[in-house]
């Protein structure tokens, strides 16, 4: 396959042409805003394509570890245990996006179950573990989109 | 706008101008300020002269970030206009089915005005203080609106606690509409449930209180509220919380820069106490008030994931979602119920 130029480089090339050649020719304000939105989406995709496989695996692994610790400390936490088993049944060594995405989706449900348990019956340390996992996920999301400023609002 | 739609608009107005003859449309211009409805401004000429109007229509299916009901909004606007205590551009005519205008749409008077957001963008922290008092009066007029004057279609929750229970439950059920599991939703639900603020009387809530939706009329300086599609009966602090979230992505925030003065005047006008309305409770409702918009965002972006739409404005909302997530965490910290430093 062709690996160079990279996917982010190709996306940035499209963005440059969109902004430098197409946008200046537009007069309809709705089309101008649409191009601004597309440009912003292309920026986010450049970052996302470069890192998404690694970040999804990192986040899922961290959630699995935290959930396993929680189940070990709270043997009656059946919801978390069931979600953990479901995650492990989906998780595989495949690095194809669809497979990593499926495992990541299952890890997201596992995190939700862990949050439900921690906020309703967990310790302060359990809540803090959930907070850290949420912040890890948020940190990657924000790295992808950067500083969001709504376009076309006045 | 296509010639066919201009002809529809001419015919629509021609049936409603009291026999003033044929109507010609001039200077039809789309308004790009909102992401949900197709807004436009135009001038209509007939035997009575030339007048400006604003049309608010449903966009083509799949192109909006929100699915809302024009009939609901029209009936609410009509009730507000009839009662008179909340200033809005006068609602004039409605096509509920789109049979005449091509899609459900209503037409209001065109005000000579600037949005408050545009004015504050031109100003600075000091000069923007001139708007705080009038802004408090504008939103207090909404929150003081008599609920018995609302149309029957506006639902009245039985009590504040019932209302908040429903709100919190909606965070848990919203996930089902999403194309993927979304852990933030259940984290927020658990957090909202664990840290409920003091109770307050239910009021009319605008639902999208932000600078672009406050029009300052030239000459009179009166503040007119627009975009009522998300209005409902709920907790008035939702509007104050939503304002915060809206202006984080759209600075400047005219309230934040003069918050004490705004809150003092707002409390005086609404009779709500400082225990009820303060920065911590507003932070709680910055989280809660985003439910309506966020649930629509995940519903609409899921349509892309499911291959049901290709709209770029909907795709763009995937960039807004992390920003909203971030605002939730920041607000939970401001409310005093999220660890300040988890590093």
In tens, the pLDDT along B182-231 reads: 999 999 999 999 899 999 999 999 999 999 999 999 999 999 999 999 99
Tens digits of residue pLDDT in B78-123: 999 999 999 999 999 999 999 999 889 999 999 999 999 999 999 9
Do B193 and B58 contact (CB within 8 A), yes or no?
no
Strand partners, B55: B40, B107
pLDDT of residue B62: 59
Record: contact A112-B175, CB cut-off 8 A: yes
Band (pLDDT 50/70/90 cuts) for residue B176 is confident
DSSP per-residue string spanning A99-136: HHHHHHHHHHHHHHHHHHHHHHH--HHHHHHHHHHHHH
With beta carbons under 8 A apart, name residues in chain B contacting A38: 312, 316
Examine residue B176 and say whether the peptide bond preceding it is cis (omega within 30 degrees of 0).
Answer: no
pLDDT of residue A153: 62
Record: contact A152-B342, CB cut-off 8 A: no
With beta carbons under 8 A apart, name residues in chain B contacting A135: 329, 342
Angle in degrees, CA A70, A73, A79, rounded to 5: 50
Tens digits of residue pLDDT in A70-86: 999 999 999 999 999 99
pLDDT of residue A85: 98
Band (pLDDT 50/70/90 cuts) for residue B66 is low
Nearest to B293 by CA among B96, B35, B77, B101: B35
As a whole number of angstroms, the distance between CA B305 and CA B5 comes to: 32
With beta carbons under 8 A apart, name residues in chain B contacting A118: 190
Do B202 and B223 contact (CB within 8 A), yes or no?
no
Percentage of residues of chain B with pLDDT beyond 90 = 75
With beta carbons under 8 A apart, name residues in chain A contacting B32: 29-30, 32-33, 152, 154
- Element (DSSP H or E) covering residue B242: helix B237-248
B316 touches chain A (CB under 8 A): yes
Residue B117 CB coordination number (10 Å): 23
Percentage of residues of chain B with pLDDT beyond 70 = 96
Strand partners, B39: B31, B56
- Element (DSSP H or E) covering residue A50: helix A29-73
Do A148 and B319 contact (CB within 8 A), yes or no?
yes
3-state secondary structure of B159: coil
3-state secondary structure of B235: coil
Tens digits of residue pLDDT in B110-165: 999 999 999 999 999 889 999 999 999 999 999 999 999 999 999 999 999 999 99
As a whole number of angstroms, the distance between CA B173 and CA A123 comes to: 26
**ipTM for the whole predicted complex goes beyond 0.90:** yes
**How many Å lie between the alpha carbon of B254 and the closest alpha carbon of chain A?**
14
Higher pLDDT, B107 or B4: B107
B41 touches chain A (CB under 8 A): no
> Is A146 exposed, middle or buried (CB count within 10 Å of its CB: 0-12, 13-18, 19+)?
middle
Examine residue B259 and say whether the peptide bond preceding it is cis (omega within 30 degrees of 0).
Answer: no
Q: What is the pTM of this model?
A: 0.88
As a whole number of angstroms, the distance between CA B84 and CA B72 comes to: 18
pLDDT of residue B248: 87
Do B252 and B246 contact (CB within 8 A), yes or no?
no
Between A30-44, B78-92, B200-214, B298-312, the lowest mean confidence (pLDDT) is in: B298-312
Record: contact B183-A108, CB cut-off 8 A: yes
The alpha carbon dihedral of B9, B12, B15, B17 has a sign of: negative
As a whole number of angstroms, the distance between CA A53 and CA A69 comes to: 25
- Element (DSSP H or E) covering residue B305: helix B291-305
Higher pLDDT, B284 or B175: B284
Average pLDDT value for residue range A113-134: 94
**How many Å lie between the alpha carbon of A111 and the closest alpha carbon of chain B?**
6
Q: Report the residue of chain B nearest A44, measured CA to CA.
A: B319
By Cβ distance, the residue of B187, B190, B249 closest to A150 is B249
Q: How far is CA B160 from CA B63, B178, B189, B266, in A?
A: 35, 28, 17, 20
Q: Pairing relation of β-strands B113-115 and B214-217?
A: antiparallel
pLDDT of residue B63: 61
């Amino acid at each position: 396959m062709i690996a160079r130029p990279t996917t982010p480089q190709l996306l940035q090339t499209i963005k440059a042409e969109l902004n430098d050649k197409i946008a200046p020719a537009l007069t309809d304000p709705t089309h101008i805003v649409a191009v601004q939105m597309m440009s912003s989406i292309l920026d986010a995709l450049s970052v996302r394509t470069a890192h998404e496989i690694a970040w999804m695996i990192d986040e899922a692994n961290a959630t699995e570890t935290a959930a396993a610790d929680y189940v070990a400390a709270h043997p009656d936490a059946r919801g978390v245990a069931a979600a953990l088993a479901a995650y492990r049944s989906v998780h595989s060594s495949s690095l194809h996006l669809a497979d990593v995405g499926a495992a990541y989706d299952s890890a997201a449900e596992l995190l939700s179950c862990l949050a439900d348990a921690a906020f309703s019956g967990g310790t302060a340390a359990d809540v803090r573990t959930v907070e850290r996992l949420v912040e890890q996920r948020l940190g990657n999301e924000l790295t992808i989109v950067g500083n969001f400023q709504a376009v076309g609002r006045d | 706008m296509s010639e066919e739609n201009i002809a529809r608009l001419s015919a629509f107005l021609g049936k409603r101008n009291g026999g003033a003859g044929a109507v010609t449309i001039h200077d039809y211009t789309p308004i790009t300020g909102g992401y949900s409805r197709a807004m436009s401004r135009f001038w209509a000429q007939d035997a009575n002269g030339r007048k400006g109007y604003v049309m608010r229509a449903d966009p083509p299916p799949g192109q909006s970030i929100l699915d809302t009901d024009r009939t609901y909004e029209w009936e609410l606007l009509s009730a507000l206009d009839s009662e008179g205590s909340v200033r809005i551009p006068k609602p004039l005519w409605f096509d509920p089915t789109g049979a005449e205008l091509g899609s459900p749409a209503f037409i209001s008077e065109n005000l000579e005005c600037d949005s408050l957001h545009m004015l504050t963008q031109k100003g600075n922290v000091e000069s923007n203080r001139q708007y705080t008092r009038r802004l408090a009066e504008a939103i207090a007029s909404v929150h003081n609106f008599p609920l018995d004057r609302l149309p029957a279609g506006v639902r009245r929750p039985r009590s504040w606690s019932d209302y908040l229970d429903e709100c919190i439950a909606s965070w848990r059920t919203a996930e089902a509409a999403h194309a993927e599991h979304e852990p933030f939703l259940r984290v927020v639900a658990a957090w909202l449930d664990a840290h409920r603020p003091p109770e307050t009387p239910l009021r009319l809530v605008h639902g999208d209180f932000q600078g672009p939706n406050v029009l300052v009329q030239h000459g009179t300086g009166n503040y007119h509220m627009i975009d009522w599609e998300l209005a409902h009966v709920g907790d008035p602090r939702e509007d104050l919380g939503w304002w915060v979230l809206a202006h984080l992505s759209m600075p400047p925030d005219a309230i934040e820069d003069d918050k004490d003065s705004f809150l003092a005047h707002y409390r005086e006008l609404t009779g709500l106490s400082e225990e009820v309305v303060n920065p911590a409770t507003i932070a709680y409702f910055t989280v809660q008030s985003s439910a309506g918009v966020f649930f629509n965002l995940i519903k609409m972006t899921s349509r892309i994931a499911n291959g049901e739409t290709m709209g770029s404005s909907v795709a763009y909302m995937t960039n807004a979602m992390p920003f909203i997530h971030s605002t939730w965490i920041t607000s939970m910290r401001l409310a005093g119920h999220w660890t300040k430093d988890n590093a």
